[in-house]
Structure 1
Amino acid sequence: MEQMRLHHVGIVLPTLKQAHDFIDRFGLEIDYEGFVDAYHADLIFTKKSTFGSPLEFIIPKEGVLCDFNNGKGGIAHIAFEVEDVEKVRKEFEEKGMGMLEDKAVPGTDDIIVNFLRPRFNDGILVEFVETVAPIKRD
């Protein structure tokens, strides 16, 4: 397995207001705001600082993420940056560990992602992130 570095920590929150309140409370800066079709959620990424990795706020509009932590939200996953998400998926599947998606899905405009299912990782959801050229959205 290739060396990986922390890309971000994902936090589910029920509302955009709660995400903005958290950002303001800790003096964070927004780097990206958008919507991820695959997970029916608004996203806000904070800027990476000299002290650490960005935070990703996930505000679900529908689906299973709306029920995360009984609808209250919380820390959802940690994400590692990799060179090739599909290679990582194949490596885990060869070890009998399943990924959330059959193949990587678009994240924000410049990344594709996939997740190792928590049941194969002591209950912790881990995302793998590959940076790609900006994705064209219709």
Structure 2
Amino acid sequence: MVKKVDHIGIAVSNLDDALEFYEKVLGMSLQGIEIVEEQKVKVAFLPIGDTEIELLESTDKEGPIAKFIEKKGEGIQHIAYRVDDIEKALEEMRQKGIRLIDEKPRYGAGGAKIAFLHPKSTKGVLVELCQRD
């Protein structure tokens, strides 16, 4: 079902500061920045190999990334796995007893269809399923 790691989402307090590290220290290239209003997040895309790093800065102090940083600090927030058919993947997860955060796919950064699985069902890791057409 899972095809590859699509991206790794990293929560950051300040996108510009984080980009300084990823671009100047690690030598990665910024592909673009997008604001996803419904998730209250500003996302920077940094491709590496056949995956990418997504830096996530909250656009709202009540947003999920702001709450994540408040609780756990900056760092890896989720790992996204690419699937061909997200609706089918969600149904398979339901049948396997996995707790879903998203019962139906929603819009994600980069035009992807996404859905999150609850960390209590995934050994403490926030897992995102991601379909790109």
TM-score calculated relative to the size of structure 1: 0.84
Alignment RMSD? 1.7
- Contact 1:9–1:55 under 8 Å retained in 2: yes
- Structure 1 unmatched runs, 5+: 133-138
Question: What are the Cα deviations for residues 47-83 of structure 1, in whole angstroms up to 9, with x where unaligned?
Answer: 233xx62101011122232022436311111111110
Change (3 A) 1:117 1:53: same
Could you tell me which residue of structure 1 aligns to residue 130 of structure 2? 129
Q: Secondary structure at the match of 2:22?
A: helix
1:30 aligned counterpart, secondary structure: coil
Task: Tell me the equivalent position of 2:100.
Answer: 99
Percent identity, aligned pairs only, is: 26
Q: Which residue matches 1:41?
A: 41
* Alignment partner of 1:118 is 2:97: no
2:14 partner amino acid:
T
- Extract unaligned runs of 5+ from structure 2: none
Look up the match of 1:17. Answer: 16
Supply the distance in 2 between the matched residues of 1:3 and 1:21 (Cα, whole angstroms). Answer: 32
Contact 2:2 2:81 survives alignment (8 Å): no
| Deviations 1:74-126 (CA, angstroms, capped at 9, x unpaired) | 11111111101111111111222222212111112431111111000111111
Q: Are the counterparts in 2 of residues 38 and 105 from structure 1 also a CA contact under 8 Å?
A: no
Match of 1:87 in 2: 88
Give the number of aligned pairs.
Answer: 129
Structure with bigger helix share is 2
Give the Cα separation in 1 of the matches to 2:21 and 2:10: 11
Detail structure 1 runs of 4+ shifted over 6 Å in the superposition.
none
Alignment partner, residue 27 of structure 2: 27
Per the normalisation by structure 2, the TM-score is 0.87
1:116, 1:125 within 8 Å by CA — same for their partners in 2? Answer: yes
